[in-house]
Amino acid sequence: MGRLASCFLDSLAAMQLPAIGYGLRYQYGIFDQEIWNGIQIERPDCWLLNPNPWEFRRDGLSRHVAFRGSIPPSEDPMHHFLALENYEEVRSIAYDYPIIGFPAQDRSFSVVTMRLWSTKESPRNFALQRYNAGELGQAGENTSLTDVLYPNDHHAAGKRIRLKQEFLLVSASLQDIVERHFSRGGGLDTFADKVRIQINDTHPALVIPELIRLLMIKGASLDHAFAITKTSASYTNHTILKEALEEWNEERMMDLLPRQYRMIQHINMQFCKEVRASFGENTEKAQAMSIIGEGQIKMAHLLLYGTHKINGVAKLHGTILKEEVFNDFFQLYPDKFCHVTNGVSHRKWLLQANPLLADFITERIGSSWIHDFSQIIELKRFAKCPKAKSAFAAIKKKNKQRLIQWLREKSPIRDGKGAVIGTIDPLGEEALFDIQVKRIHEYKRQMLNLLHAARLYLDIKKERKSPPIKRMILIAGKAAPGYQLAKEIIHFARILSHKINNDPEVNQHLRLAFIESYNVSKTLFLIPAADLSSQISLVGREASGTGNMKMAMNGALTIGTEDGANEEMRWAVGDEYWPFRFGMNVEEVQAKKTSGYSPSAIYQNNPIIREVLDFMVSDALTDHPAEKQCMEHLRKNLLEGEVESAPDPYYNLQDFSAFYETQKRVEMLYQDQDKWNEYAIMQIASMGFFTSDRSIQEYVDHIWDTKACPIDPDVLQKLQRDISPANKPHGPI
């Protein structure tokens, strides 16, 4: 989500749209990952150690945010939403980062601001009285509010500090937005016309009660303030995984944010009235849809009622929101629902990440694709051109060599104490580079990839002959620190890679590597070198995916399920050039769910799978007790399940055979390099739709109704004169 927001800021700036991106200035961002003898170790990422010349501290833009306190008794019910006494005040300071838009063809360009809040630099946030009373931890709580990012991916944190962070972001940013509007002569009557607030997942859901409160302070009635809020705000949903949908405990909300809690109660009463008016006295419906229920506040429900538009991030995801996850809400407010398929910045992921390929494209179709990525379709003319194909092959080879060198020099393998005992030694560039890089999660099914790698290993051992192609499997990604099973999947990857890479009968044909600490810098080595992009999530779970788009833009072929944006990529590329689709579709998963899924029956009946599952726990893989325990647990998860969960909840075994057969077709096509390169060029040429420029244009057209706002050339010229060294009385700075 953070990377997606970065691509969106890049596009907003390049398209000269008026926008600000708000966030928190964490001292420690997502952790750095080290793998100590197969175990993930989290290390702090100290990205602020060195001064950042692009960061501008704005002391004039300090905002005060109130937590806790009590609501004084009053006859006027409106006071319950506004008045507060004995509260904690937290001061946040803004840091601005200019996001410089790629220049337009007339060389004009625009700059968008990313504004991040920090509570670190306000000494008054330190609660000296608490410190003196010996409450050392609590004394620094507000000073350290923006210290650490919660690294959970697709899993809600449910922590008090997290709620404080979310409200800090919301309140400081909304105060900023409201003050800017009013200080420039705007009023309540123009707010809804002038201001659009895109709520990125449920984390800033408190925008709804807080914006109502701030507008009431400006003189709006509650109903008017709510109407303005609904018109200004819209909500992007990023996931349907239940464990990721945020809910906050009522008592916690009441304690930390008493006024916002009362406002949510009020909103919920109004909402339940609307539900009853539409569905009659259907109490089951009202209970299911209620914003507050069983002591929990459902943040997605608050947003579904409190905004005018909710969007999914791919077509399939939008459909699932309407037909399944939020079907009740869809029946009530059908016009609120839409989807905007995600995109990625082709300037970041092609022009910057792969300069050789960018030149290859420009030499053939000119440079207008950089401004208008729909032009990339012109490249189709070269898909069957022998010269273009061999030029493309040479570029892919260079990118693979660059990755190989980087792996040999920079990708450590560590022992159980963290000491570097070697580096990854990959196969040469003639091998198929089969890449799966993304956060580690059961739904993304790195497990399926590993089961396949184990199967290839057994095949080579059994047949004692060379497989049709050489294959270098690369996996990378971080696991949420508390997500035990994800960490065990990483452990499995390292156990298996140790086996495969050290077996002289196998390691000339097949190698497997798990690369430490996947992040954006590393994508720049990995993505341009990919031949095969693994996008193998269980259908219905990956809302969109963006790694799929990045790799296809760089000429990788996708092996993928019919999930997220994969399907839209297939429509763009065309079935003929999308040969590696596999696995159950949404209906088949649904049918399996109802008819009952038995992975142990698959194990009994299918020797291909049985051998792999038995290999997992055999001494042939490992005889180390801790490693064996990990493998036994993973196998148990697939065949028997846990106390609270069914066996193989992500259907790895169900989809295995289709995956294995499809990988055989990958091997066939890869043997025909000429054909493979034709397919690869077709992928690049078909990615025009998947630029974030197009996504942003759809937000403009369907949700925001905003206009580009280019810089006035006269104003710019005057500015340039003013800052030119010649006009400085003391000469150049």
Ligand X SMILES: *Cc1c(COP(=O)(O)O)cnc(C)c1O
| 546 catalytically annotated | yes
How far, rounded to the nearest angstrom, does the alpha carbon of residue 316 sit from its chain's CA centroid? Answer: 17
- Taking residues 494 to 533 in sequence order and writing x for each that binds ligand X by CB under 6 A, - otherwise, the string is ------------------------xxx--x----------
CB-based burial label for 107 (10 Å; 0-12, 13-18, 19+): exposed
DSSP SS3 for 625: helix
Nearer to ligand X, 341 or 677 (CB): 341
Nearer to ligand X, 288 or 520 (CB): 520
Q: Is residue 154 a contact point for ligand X (CB under 6 A)?
A: no
Measured between alpha carbons, how far is residue 132 from residues 125, 128, 139, 351 in Å? 15, 6, 9, 56
Unique residue bearing structure tokens 């692009």: 54
Size of the site for ligand X (CB under 6 A): 10
Alpha-carbon gap, residue 487 to 670, rounded angstroms: 32
Strand partners, 413: 422
Stretch in the footprint of ligand X (CB under 6 A) among 58-66, 545-553, 668-676, 701-709: 545-553
Q: Is residue 5 a contact point for ligand X (CB under 6 A)?
A: no
Residues 361-420 that bind ligand X (CB under 6 A): none
Token couple for 346:
């082709």
Helices (H) and strands (E) in the chain, counts: 30, 20
Residues 86-145 that bind ligand X (CB under 6 A): none
| 319 catalytically annotated | no
CB of residue 542 vs ligand X: minimum separation in angstroms? 7
Unique residue bearing structure tokens 């273009």: 388
Sign of CA dihedral 666, 671, 677, 678: negative
SS (H, E, C) 586-606: HHHHHHHHHHCCCHHHHHHHC
Residue 614 backbone phi and psi in degrees, to 5: -75, -35
Nearer to ligand X, 191 or 582 (CB): 582
Token couple for 502:
């050290």
Residue in 500, 498, 449 with CA at minimum distance from that of residue 477: 449
Nearer to ligand X, 438 or 445 (CB): 438
Strand partners, 337: 310
Given candidates 343, 426, 547, 599, which one binds ligand X under the rule CB under 6 A? Answer: 547
Catalytic: which of 202, 239, 523, 546? 546
Catalytic: which of 230, 336, 444, 491? 444
Alpha-carbon gap, residue 185 to 544, rounded angstroms: 41
* Cβ atoms of 205 and 303 closer than 8 Å: yes
Strand partners, 423: 412
* Cβ atoms of 260 and 206 closer than 8 Å: yes
Catalytic: which of 63, 438, 491, 494? 438
Q: Is residue 68 a contact point for ligand X (CB under 6 A)?
A: no
DSSP state at residue 349: I
CB of residue 564 vs ligand X: minimum separation in angstroms? 8
Given candidates 438, 452, 491, 509, which one binds ligand X under the rule CB under 6 A? Answer: 438
DSSP SS3 for 608: helix
Nearer to ligand X, 5 or 71 (CB): 5
| 298 catalytically annotated | no
CB of residue 426 vs ligand X: minimum separation in angstroms? 20
Residues 178-237 that bind ligand X (CB under 6 A): none
Nearer to ligand X, 3 or 276 (CB): 3
| 438 catalytically annotated | yes
Question: What order do you get walking across the sheet with 309-312 strand by strand?
Answer: 197-200, 233-236, 309-312, 337-339
Nearer to ligand X, 518 or 689 (CB): 518
CB of residue 517 vs ligand X: minimum separation in angstroms? 10
Q: Is residue 657 a contact point for ligand X (CB under 6 A)?
A: no
CB of residue 523 vs ligand X: minimum separation in angstroms? 5
Catalytic: which of 115, 213, 238, 317? 238
Q: What angle do CA 656, 661, 663 make, to 5 degrees?
A: 95
Q: Is residue 16 a contact point for ligand X (CB under 6 A)?
A: no
CB of residue 550 vs ligand X: minimum separation in angstroms? 6
Among all residues, whose Cβ is closest to ligand X?
A: 547
Nearer to ligand X, 286 or 344 (CB): 344
CB of residue 554 vs ligand X: minimum separation in angstroms? 12
Catalytic: which of 317, 439, 511, 694? 439
Alpha-carbon gap, residue 247 to 203, rounded angstroms: 10
Q: Is residue 446 a contact point for ligand X (CB under 6 A)?
A: no
Measured between alpha carbons, how far is residue 231 from residues 197, 536, 635 in Å? 9, 38, 51
Catalytic: which of 80, 322, 511, 550? 550
Alpha-carbon gap, residue 190 to 606, rounded angstroms: 66
Sign of CA dihedral 106, 107, 108, 113: positive
* Cβ atoms of 579 and 558 closer than 8 Å: no
* Cβ atoms of 511 and 500 closer than 8 Å: yes
CB of residue 101 vs ligand X: minimum separation in angstroms? 21
Using left for φ > 0, alpha for ψ between -120 and 50, and beta otherwise, residue 294 falls in left
Nearer to ligand X, 312 or 547 (CB): 547
Sign of CA dihedral 276, 280, 281, 283: negative
Q: Is residue 3 a contact point for ligand X (CB under 6 A)?
A: yes
CB of residue 171 vs ligand X: minimum separation in angstroms? 29
CB of residue 3 vs ligand X: minimum separation in angstroms? 5
Alpha-carbon gap, residue 207 to 204, rounded angstroms: 6
Q: Is residue 238 a contact point for ligand X (CB under 6 A)?
A: no
DSSP state at residue 251: H
Q: Is residue 445 a contact point for ligand X (CB under 6 A)?
A: no
Strands 20-24 and 111-118: parallel
Stretch in the footprint of ligand X (CB under 6 A) among 67-75, 541-549, 604-612, 694-702: 541-549
CB of residue 404 vs ligand X: minimum separation in angstroms? 20
Alpha-carbon gap, residue 370 to 17, rounded angstroms: 18
Nearer to ligand X, 32 or 121 (CB): 32
Nearer to ligand X, 23 or 547 (CB): 547
Alpha-carbon gap, residue 554 to 528, rounded angstroms: 5
* Cβ atoms of 399 and 529 closer than 8 Å: yes
| 550 catalytically annotated | yes
| 439 catalytically annotated | yes
CB of residue 530 vs ligand X: minimum separation in angstroms? 12
Nearer to ligand X, 13 or 530 (CB): 530
Alpha-carbon gap, residue 317 to 327, rounded angstroms: 13
Residues 6+ apart with CB under 8 A from 107: none
CB of residue 109 vs ligand X: minimum separation in angstroms? 25
Nearer to ligand X, 37 or 342 (CB): 342
Q: Is residue 566 a contact point for ligand X (CB under 6 A)?
A: no
Given candidates 118, 307, 399, 546, which one binds ligand X under the rule CB under 6 A? Answer: 546
> Which residues are designated catalytic?
238, 438-439, 444, 546, 550
Binding residues for ligand X (CB under 6 A): 3, 438, 518-520, 523, 545-547, 550
